[in-house]
Amino acid sequence: MRVLPKLFVPLMVCGALFIGCGDKERPQNGAKTAEKPATAVLPSRFTLKSDTQAVTAEVTDEGVDFNVSEPAVLIDFFATWCPPCRAEIPHLADLQKKYPEKLKIMGVLVESKHPAELKRFIEGHGINYFVSNAPDNMLFANRVMELLHQPKNFTIPFMVLFVKGKYFRHYVGLVPEEMIESDIKEALREVK
Can you list the residues of the chain whose pLDDT is less than 50?
Answer: 4, 8-38
For residue 192, the model assigns a pLDDT of: 72
DSSP state of 81: T
Question: CA 134 to CA 15: how far, in whole Å?
Answer: 49
For residue 6, the model assigns a pLDDT of: 57
Peptide bond into 84 cis (omega under 30): no
For residue 41, the model assigns a pLDDT of: 63
For residue 2, the model assigns a pLDDT of: 57
Could you give the angle at which helices 83-98 and 177-191 cross, rounded to 10 degrees? 40
- Asked if residue 173 lies in contact with residue 84, where contact means CB atoms within 8 angstroms, the answer is yes
Record: fold of 45-191: Glutaredoxin (3.40.30)
For residue 33, the model assigns a pLDDT of: 34
Rg (CA), the chain: 22
Question: CA 46 to CA 95: how far, in whole Å?
Answer: 25
